[in-house]
Amino acid sequence: MSTQTPEAVNLDAELQRAIEHHQAGRHAEAEALYLAIVQAQPYHAIANHNVGLLAGQLGFHDAALPYLRTALSVNPDEGQFWLSYANGLLSAQQALEGLEIIESAIQRGLDNAESQALLTRARAAVAQLPQIPTTEEKQHIVALYQAGRYAEMENATHALLASYPESDFAWSVLGTALQLQGKDALSALQKTVELTPYDAQAHGNLGNAWQAAGQYGQAMDCYLRALEIEPDFAEAHGNLGSALVAQGRLSEAIHAYGRALAINPAYAMAHFNLGNTLKSAGDFEGAATSYRHALAIMPDDAELHANLGHALQALEQLDAALASHEMAVRLDGAKAAFQNNLGLCLKALKRPQDALDAFQRAHAIEPQNLDVLTNLGSALFTLGHKTEALETYQALLELDADNAASHNNLGLILRGMERLDDAIGAHRKALALDTSCSKTLQYLAEALAAARDFDGAANCLRQAIVLQPESADLHNRLGIVLQQAKCYDEALLAYGKALELEPELAITHNNIGSLHHEQKHCEVALKHFRQAIALDPGFAAAYIGMGLTYRLLHDYNAAIAAFRSATRYDSDNLAAYVNLSTTLCDNGQLQDAVASCRAALSIDPHCASVYSNLLFCLTHMGSSDPASLFAEHQKFADTFEVPLRASWPQHQNDPDPERILNVGFVSADFNNHAVANFILPILLNLVQSKRVVLHAYYTSLLRDEQSKSFEALFPHWHAVHHLSDAALAAQIESDGMDILIDLSGHTGGNRLLAFARKPAPVQASWIGYPGTTSLQAMDYFLCDRFYLPPGAMEEQFSEAIAYLPAAAPFLPSAQSPAVNTLPALQNGYITFGSFNRPSKLSREVIANWARLLRALPDSRMLMAAMPNNSSYETYIEWFASEGVARERIDFYPRTTTAAYLALHHKVDLCLDTFPYTGGTTTLHALWMGVPTLTIPGNTLPGRVSACALSHMGLTAFVAQDIDDFLAKGVYIANDIALLSDIRSNLRQLVSNSPMGRPDIIAAGFEGAIRTMWRRWVAGQAASSFEAPLEITQTQEHA
């Protein structure tokens, strides 16, 4: 037994009421009920049929047709529906369509008196119509269309219209022919619609023509009319979606494409356009799905692959995106856009050379494509092809001189080339073209800041803030510029405003931390770095700032942990690896430091400062044999100097061998630094000479009392920290330096790449680094015969050796306390000591010291200069494994200079590290009456202590090997009287030695540079020599 739902019962009842009203002539009531039923159930056959009949009875024949057509489509087996629809068509003056319907009905078996009467009526109506083209005439035009001969198709259609002026076929195909040729087809298609007002396809075609003309409202009217006639017209739904997209009505467009695909799931263009619309709406996942559906239907469509690549790229699925872009290029490699897209994807994948190749192919296809030129310029610049990048942007501006973005890009390139004035000019042009562009003001600010015009930069950012007062980023950038200008209070206000607008802006907390770090407010700095990390746990820069702050606190373990976190979250962060390597080196973890340097070089093989760090670390390591160490240094020259040699200048310096010489000193250490203590006593003598003019090129930002003293001392002081190596070399050459002295070597802050450009005729390295620079541009290395014995190690240097009376003088600290009596006399045991930094301590060094401690069981060990916040467990374990108990060792952290020097009152004899021996620490100990027992090495870093001791006549403290070290240590420790006597006389020995006579070293230096100069004037190559004593003596009395 069947049942009906309540809704169905209600509709049937409503239908019965409607029929009753209809039959009683109550047309309005009948119509209302029929339409209510159709609204509730659009495909209700009887309701549609009856409302169509009613409309026809009331004379609304056109309006009747959609309902009659729907009824027939729902139930084609109902004969009355065929008869009613045919009658409706004839009543609406659509005779051909009416004839077609009634003929179909009769063919289906509906052959009765009523159908025959309609057939007779339809034939009579058709006979009254104008003549229509023959099948052969139509086929001729179709053949022209299929052959792509559109101009001939147009002509043939005009000829057809001459014979059949009211042919809807002719007008329709004329519209098609015109559209295919890019001509105005509106009139033809409007005529088609006029002739066939109930042809959905005609309305759709007219809508397409309106859309092509940019008249989207009219286009939508046509599509909606087509859908009234044929609700399941998929193409009309799809084209309606396109018109909606053009008007920015994306959600409605997405719905329209959905309707089209519900009707025809194989409608590839609807999938494609839906994908584009979803992509525009930010739904990249949905877009990718739509593109894949389209590709299942059209797998060889290049544009589909390209658009899928865009969507996948936005989803950061870069490998999949690359495959799509490569397929697009494979299918249509002659399209510049596809090559350009491929380049952008390769750029995102950090494959800059492959990206450049793609952009160059795109440029070859479309040389005047502005987007391609922009990307090509950027790619060239990324790979260091700065001149080509500049030419590319200049070509772009020739094509579009009023393009503000292109002027900005040009400015960025010029800034990268360090042509700051030109960069500023380019950004000003961009600003003149678009005065309300905050981005241009930002770029201009960056260029002005790079030129050290912080006031100008700040003013630009303030103008940008007027345009975008709610931009936390701009307030943050203003803070950065003010911080660079050392306007810390104003910078804090700007940062505060940024946080007021965006309280969770991690970068601003990081910048506040950096500001406090600069001011050495370490705890406050750490607080803000921690806040930045809490807001963004993967913020590598905040970890780096935290690590640098811990370095200020000498908490190396915490600093190392912070830098490792930075590398974990950003494995390509060069600064993280650089700071990690430096801190590991300072903490004595040399193998790890070297590994970190190599990791940094894998990120940027052309980072000279990282390579210098690597060489510094290798120089400390006992495992570095001289030949391999020199080979590593030589790689530096091969990488960084060789490409520069071809552009070395032809020096035009006055070749007078006896004239006054301009002598420049380049250093980052004209401040409270050990190097400064060595060079200052010499400069105090040199500055009095009448034969030299001294220039300082200070490459550090640090300003302290010592740097102020240097500035006052030098006749010519140049603060050049902001200059690139190329710009520094250019200034040195412009200043006319005759002799240029490097005081850094491969230590931090060096400017060896300025020296590599050979800005002075004669260049020499001195004091700062115990080894070769490896540069051919560096002519000489200054030292003495104890430091580098003649004939012993010249093969470790690319430079010729200039021998001075002493490599450098020693300037005792003014905070040095008086020498005390030998502690052993009161203690009854020997106390050994070490004041060397942890980077010089190794397992092997501790083992050597432990042998001596075991041989003297009552002796003790004092280890100073230890890292703060360290447990020293590593050293304790090393000693313990060698049989030396913890209670025999005293650890002291890094401290003030005065306290450090006072610790020598507890030490009888210092034990040296190897292969990198003490330097300044050995000299300070000597001044405090404490000799150092050392083993000289076979590289320069291993000979510093031996050199100092030899100058004092204390060669008895220079052991030949580890066994001799033990023997000498036991012997000296057992001769308390000898140690006591030496202690009381050591300061005098230091003062009387060449190292205690900066005047003699200054004279030797002046004699050395005069010899270098004479050789250059004579055209002689650099070769080793000893500074002539007669010159030294002459200078001493000048």
Which pLDDT belongs to residue 427? Answer: 95
User: What is the SS3 assignment for 781?
Assistant: strand
Q: How confident is the model at residue 1030 (pLDDT cuts 50, 70, 90)?
A: very low
Q: Are 695 and 665 in contact (CB under 8 A)?
A: yes
Looking at residue 1022, what DSSP letter applies?
P
Give me the mean pLDDT over the 987-1014 stretch. Answer: 95
Give every strand in the sheet of 860-866, ordered side by side: 889-893, 860-866, 831-834, 909-911, 932-933
Q: How confident is the model at residue 94 (pLDDT cuts 50, 70, 90)?
A: confident
Is 575 a residue whose pLDDT tops 80?
yes
Q: How confident is the model at residue 869 (pLDDT cuts 50, 70, 90)?
A: low
Give me the mean pLDDT over the 806-813 stretch. Answer: 91
b (16+ CB within 10 A) / e for 982-1009: bbeebbebbeebbbbbbbbbbbbbbbbb
Helix (H) or strand (E) holding 794: none
Per the prediction, the chain carries an average pLDDT of 92
Which pLDDT belongs to residue 4? Answer: 39
**CA-CA distance, 868 to 550, in Å (whole number)?**
10
Is 868 a residue whose pLDDT tops 80?
no
The tokens describing 386, both together, are 């700065």
Conformational region of residue 33, where left means phi above 0, alpha means psi within -120 to 50, and beta covers everything else: alpha
* Single-letter code of the amino acid located at 238: G
**CA-CA distance, 636 to 612, in Å (whole number)?**
8
Beta bridge partners of 764: 741, 780
Is 1033 a residue whose pLDDT tops 70?
no
Is 1031 a residue whose pLDDT tops 70?
no
**CA-CA distance, 500 to 625, in Å (whole number)?**
58
**CA-CA distance, 715 to 698, in Å (whole number)?**
13
pLDDT, tens only, 704-735: 999 999 999 999 999 999 899 999 999 999 99
Which pLDDT belongs to residue 737? Answer: 98
Concatenating the DSSP letter of every residue in 807-842 gives S------TTPPPP---HHHHHSS-EEEE-S-GGG--
Closest CA to 293 of 320, 277, 270, 315: 270
Write out the CATH class of domain 145-350: mainly alpha
**CA-CA distance, 807 to 998, in Å (whole number)?**
10
Give me the mean pLDDT over the 31-47 stretch. Answer: 91
pTM above 0.85, yes or no: no
**CA-CA distance, 105 to 13, in Å (whole number)?**
31
- Domain regions of the chain by residue span: 6-127, 145-350, 538-647, 651-809, 823-996
E-strand spans in 751-903? 762-766, 780-783, 800-803, 831-834, 860-866, 889-893
Closest CA to 563 of 554, 446, 550: 550
Which pLDDT belongs to residue 811? Answer: 85
**CA-CA distance, 789 to 924, in Å (whole number)?**
24
Give me the mean pLDDT over the 603-620 stretch. Answer: 92
Give me the mean pLDDT over the 986-999 stretch. Answer: 94
Which pLDDT belongs to residue 6? Answer: 40
Residue with tokens 């160059």, as numbered in its chain: 360
Q: Are 1010 and 1038 in contact (CB under 8 A)?
A: no
Beta bridge partners of 909: 832
Conformational region of residue 869, where left means phi above 0, alpha means psi within -120 to 50, and beta covers everything else: left
- HEC string of 675-728 equals HHHHHHHHHHHHCCCCCEEEEEEECCCCCCHHHHHHHHHCCEEEECCCCCHHHH
CATH 3.30.750.24 fits domain 823-996: no
CATH number of this structure's domain 538-647: 1.25.40.10
- Measured CA to CA in angstroms, residue 15 lies from 22, 51, 354, 1033 at distances of 10, 11, 72, 129
pLDDT, tens only, 896-917: 999 999 999 999 999 999 888 9
Radius of gyration (Cα) for the chain, nearest Å? 45
Work out whether the CA dihedral 654, 655, 657, 662 comes out positive or negative: positive
Q: Are 1033 and 1002 in contact (CB under 8 A)?
A: no
pLDDT, tens only, 747-795: 989 999 999 999 999 999 999 898 999 999 999 999 999 999 998 888 9
Which pLDDT belongs to residue 403? Answer: 87
Which pLDDT belongs to residue 122? Answer: 86
Is 624 a residue whose pLDDT tops 80?
no
Which pLDDT belongs to residue 1034? Answer: 38
Q: How far is CA 980 from the centre of its chain?
A: 62
pLDDT, tens only, 171-207: 888 888 888 888 988 888 898 888 888 788 889 999 9
Which pLDDT belongs to residue 1029? Answer: 56
Q: How confident is the model at residue 130 (pLDDT cuts 50, 70, 90)?
A: low
Closest CA to 637 of 808, 790, 765: 765
pLDDT, tens only, 250-297: 999 999 999 999 999 999 999 999 999 999 999 999 999 999 999 999
Give me the mean pLDDT over the 591-613 stretch. Answer: 94
6-127, CATH topology level: 1.25.40
Is 106 a residue whose pLDDT tops 80?
yes
Which pLDDT belongs to residue 530? Answer: 97
Residues comprising the chain, all counted: 1038
Closest CA to 746 of 613, 880, 849, 879: 613
Instruction: List the Cα angle 406/409/412 in 5-degree steps.
Output: 155
**Other residues' Cβ atoms within 10 Å of the Cβ of residue 271:** 26
Q: How confident is the model at residue 124 (pLDDT cuts 50, 70, 90)?
A: confident
* Single-letter code of the amino acid located at 665: F
- Measured CA to CA in angstroms, residue 686 lies from 262, 264, 366, 683, 1006 at distances of 92, 93, 64, 5, 8
The tokens describing 682, both together, are 């010499």
Domain 6-127 and domain 145-350 have a common topology: yes
Of 98-107, 394-403, 461-470, give the range with the top mean pLDDT.
461-470
Give me the mean pLDDT over the 155-168 stretch. Answer: 86
Those residues with Cβ within 8 angstroms of residue 107's Cβ, 6 or more apart along the chain or in another chain: none
The torsion defined by the Cα of 353, 359, 364 and 370, in degrees rounded to 10, comes to: -150
Q: How far is CA 324 from the centre of its chain?
A: 24
**CA-CA distance, 391 to 756, in Å (whole number)?**
27
Q: Are 827 and 941 in contact (CB under 8 A)?
A: no
The tokens describing 172, both together, are 């329709």
**CA-CA distance, 456 to 446, in Å (whole number)?**
10
**The listed CATH number (3.90.950.20, 3.40.50.11380, 3.40.50.720, 3.40.718.10) that belongs to domain 651-809:** 3.40.50.11380
**Other residues' Cβ atoms within 10 Å of the Cβ of residue 2:** 3
pLDDT, tens only, 910-950: 999 988 899 889 999 999 999 999 999 888 888 999 999 99
Q: Are 752 and 773 in contact (CB under 8 A)?
A: yes
Percentage of the chain exceeding pLDDT 90: 73
| Helices 200-212, 186-195: inter-axial angle, 10-degree rounding | 160
Those residues with Cβ within 8 angstroms of residue 905's Cβ, 6 or more apart along the chain or in another chain: 817, 820, 823, 928
Give me the mean pLDDT over the 628-640 stretch. Answer: 95
